[in-house]
Structure 1
Amino acid sequence: MTQKSAIREITGTTLASLTPADVAGDRPVVWRNLANDWPVIQQARESDADFIATLCSYDAGLPITLYRADASADGRIFYNDDMTGFNFSPEHASFAEFTAQLLNPKEANDTLYMGSTMLSRWFPAFSQANPLPLASLHPLVSLWVGNQSHVAAHFDFPDNLAIVIAGRRRFTLFPPEQVSNLYIGPLEFTPAGQPISLVDARNPDFTRFPRYKTALEHAITVELEPGDALYIPSMWWHQVESLAPVNGLVNFWWRSTPHFLGNPFDALRHCLLSVGQLPAHQRLAWQAMFEHFVFNRADDTFAHIPEHNRGAVGEIDETTARRLRADLLNKFNR
């Protein structure tokens, strides 16, 4: 492992002993050999062909979406040169067809990548053979398979536990406060749904992106092999390099608040709409409002308001959330 900042590493833990408290912090954690007991990982250690055959045995037979980029992309999943589109194209195939291409040396110059694909729907037999942890968190569990590729730094709102099941992956992680130094691209027009850094991390242009040097001073870089796991806290930026000819990963996403409270990214976009274009002095005024009502709130911030009259500043249950959402939708549609 190479690193610019320290990361906690744990050995001797098994998936069966992993608890929600282990994955509830605000710093990344690595568990070495966490999932060694999974048969799929044991097969991956035998050969790429054995690994693929094991995955195919779990396949429900539904078409999957894969992404292909030619040799000019050099494995980078990104925009095209003028950012009018992307340097890859989606294709639909059976998982068997995709993996046959993955193992075919004639396809070696193309980047082949199957992104987040839900185990429960596409590979329901996986969890029977390889018991999944953290059931009490009700995570969304996904499978990722491909050859050598590089995915730019991006964030996820949910917490994330990533387990390498084949090949080798290098993660570079940046704390949330480094967002201003990562040169984030468009919020809506994105390669895979999340905004990404426009810096080519393997060959950074410090003339164009000088603040990226500061981001690197705070970065954590770690390499994972089959059986290793990485906890990525909510909102930590992470770039991912798949380093072997065949790579596989299973990841778990979950959130620490109920789904009915919505996604803060939606609030960010609404804030850009309603606040982002205001004069500077008004934006500062609204910054003070957000600091008071949202970011610096404490248990006693609203104690002066009778509990039954606190509304949105009080405890929000599902009924209150529905009422707030309906009121907002009504205002949006005016």
Structure 2
Amino acid sequence: MEDSIANLISTYHELNAAVVDELDEEPTPLEFMRYVAKNRPFVVRRAAEYWKAVQSWDAGYLNRMMGDEAVKVVVTPHGNADAVVKQEDGLLAFIEPHETFEPFGRFLADIQKRSKMGEREYRNVKYAQTQNDNLRNEYESLYADVPKNIPFARIALDEGADAINLWLGDDRSVTALHKDNYENIYVQVRGQKHFVLLPPVEMPCVNEQPLPKGRYVPSEHTDTLGIQLDTEAEPVPVAVWDPDTPDKLTTPYSHLAKPLRVTLREGDMLYLPSLWYHKVSQSVGEEGFVCAVNYWYDMDFSGHFWASNNFVRDVVNGEKMKPAYPELETDGQT
């Protein structure tokens, strides 16, 4: 069975180039549907350069539009929201960020201030990343500055966006390797985003493990954050292998992975297909913050795609039958 899984991954790479296609212009609905059918990403440079958001969203404009409106902000010690964290006992856990509300203007000013300070003030990293259709809700004042849908996606998929999200932070925030059950159209507004992408077929490479779940919580007497585990929650299946540290926490298949890398600049648009693993880091723009908007369209669960990926996952997870992270017993690395 191990040889069959390795052959599956190798055959995929023989038939699919390890590149992200770059298109000269937005695709037609038919062209887009071909990418959806192949489950392959693409990027369109400067596709959104004339959006009002891309042309207008500087710090002054955002402050005028949002003012003192309260927004949800997540806080972590090192920018590692929703990430695998090594605890004091050496074991791994999936830790969610501390959540709080604060006026948008104060949040943005803090982001800009900490970007200028750099490494000297590397603590309690803030990020706006609620992923709950926030641009049509808590950021409604900015919603008119972006299209209500991406036309080629709406026509091809025959549905409107399930969620439109705004993401705003600085270059200390990193999104750990994960996947989503959505067709994702991602548009960079300010700064840059750096994506590391893995196709769904590389699930055997990412070392998915059931980890205890917890959350960062503030200390009673200092501004530091500690970890509080949820002892009643079911373990969460999480990818613990990181393509940026490929020799740690590996599986027998990790060496077969061929991560794709793409950087989005202001006005660029990325199609990230459903179930693709992605890790995202970022670089601030001239005003010291990073901002992006994404459109989530529900994936189609019919046909063979979802069922086939679940079959591979079941085979690989059933084949493991080994300690959750044996590498920790030898070298202590995460």
Which bracket does the TM-score occupy, shorter chain normalised?
0.5 to 0.7
2:45 is the alignment partner of 1:22: no
2:287 is the alignment partner of 1:247: no
2:15 is the alignment partner of 1:10: no
DSSP 3-state at the match of 2:167: strand
Per-residue deviation, residues 298-332 of structure 1 (Å, max 9, x unmatched): xxxxxxxxxxxxxxxxxxxxxxxxxxxxxxxxxxx
1:18–1:120: structure 2 CA closer, same or farther, 3 Å change rule?
A: farther
Question: Is the Cα–Cα contact under 8 Å of residues 96 and 214 in structure 2 kept in the other structure?
Answer: no
Question: Is the Cα–Cα contact under 8 Å of residues 7 and 30 in structure 1 kept in the other structure?
Answer: yes
Partner Cα distance (1:32, 1:191) in 2: 37
Q: Calculate percent identity across the aligned residue pairs.
A: 19
Displacement, 1:195? 5.0
2:42 is the alignment partner of 1:34: no
1:128–1:207: structure 2 CA closer, same or farther, 3 Å change rule?
A: closer
Partner Cα distance (1:125, 1:18) in 2: 30
Displacement, 1:240? 0.7
DSSP 3-state at the match of 2:137: helix
Task: Compare CA radii of gyration and give the structure with the larger one.
Answer: 1
- Matched with 2:141 is 125
Per-residue deviation, residues 94-121 of structure 1 (Å, max 9, x unmatched): 2222112111145852322111251111
2:216 is the alignment partner of 1:209: no
Count of aligned pairs between the two proteins = 252
Displacement, 1:21? 5.3
For residues 1-334 of structure 1, the aligned pairs below 5 Å read 5-13=18-26, 19=29, 22=32, 24-25=36-37, 26-43=39-56, 51-59=58-66, 62-70=69-77, 73=78, 75-77=79-81, 78-82=83-87, 83-84=92-93, 86=95, 88-105=97-114, 109-110=122-123, 111-115=125-129, 116=131, 118-134=134-150, 136=154, 137-139=159-161, 140-148=163-171, 149-186=173-210, 189=213, 196-202=238-244, 204=245, 206-209=247-250, 211-215=253-257, 218-244=258-284, 245-257=288-300
Displacement, 1:184? 2.1
DSSP 3-state at the match of 1:199: coil
Displacement, 1:54? 2.6
DSSP 3-state at the match of 1:253: strand
Partner Cα distance (2:139, 2:96) in 1: 28
Per-residue deviation, residues 2-21 of structure 1 (Å, max 9, x unmatched): xx8112101233xxx86475
1:138–1:187: structure 2 CA closer, same or farther, 3 Å change rule?
A: farther
Unaligned runs of 5+ in 2: 1-16, 217-234, 322-334
Larger fraction in helix: 1
Moved more, 166-175 or 19-28: 19-28
Which amino acid in 2 is paired with 1:150? Answer: V
Question: Is the Cα–Cα contact under 8 Å of residues 199 and 276 in structure 2 kept in the other structure?
Answer: yes
Partner Cα distance (1:123, 1:257) in 2: 28
Which amino acid in 2 is paired with 1:159? Answer: E
Per-residue deviation, residues 66-104 of structure 1 (Å, max 9, x unmatched): 22233xx3x443243223563843222122221121111
Larger fraction in strand: 2
- Matched with 1:288 is none
Displacement, 1:183? 1.4
DSSP 3-state at the match of 2:74: strand
1:199–1:58: structure 2 CA closer, same or farther, 3 Å change rule?
A: farther
Question: Is the Cα–Cα contact under 8 Å of residues 94 and 236 in structure 2 kept in the other structure?
Answer: no
DSSP 3-state at the match of 1:66: strand
Partner Cα distance (2:28, 2:139) in 1: 23
1:20–1:96: structure 2 CA closer, same or farther, 3 Å change rule?
A: farther
Displacement, 1:181? 0.5
1:173–1:207: structure 2 CA closer, same or farther, 3 Å change rule?
A: closer
Which amino acid in 2 is paired with 1:37? Answer: Y
Unaligned runs of 5+ in 1: 45-50, 281-334
1:80–1:172: structure 2 CA closer, same or farther, 3 Å change rule?
A: closer
Partner Cα distance (1:79, 1:138) in 2: 33
Question: Is the Cα–Cα contact under 8 Å of residues 84 and 240 in structure 2 kept in the other structure?
Answer: no
Per-residue deviation, residues 190-230 of structure 1 (Å, max 9, x unmatched): 8899854223443x161532543322xx2211011011011
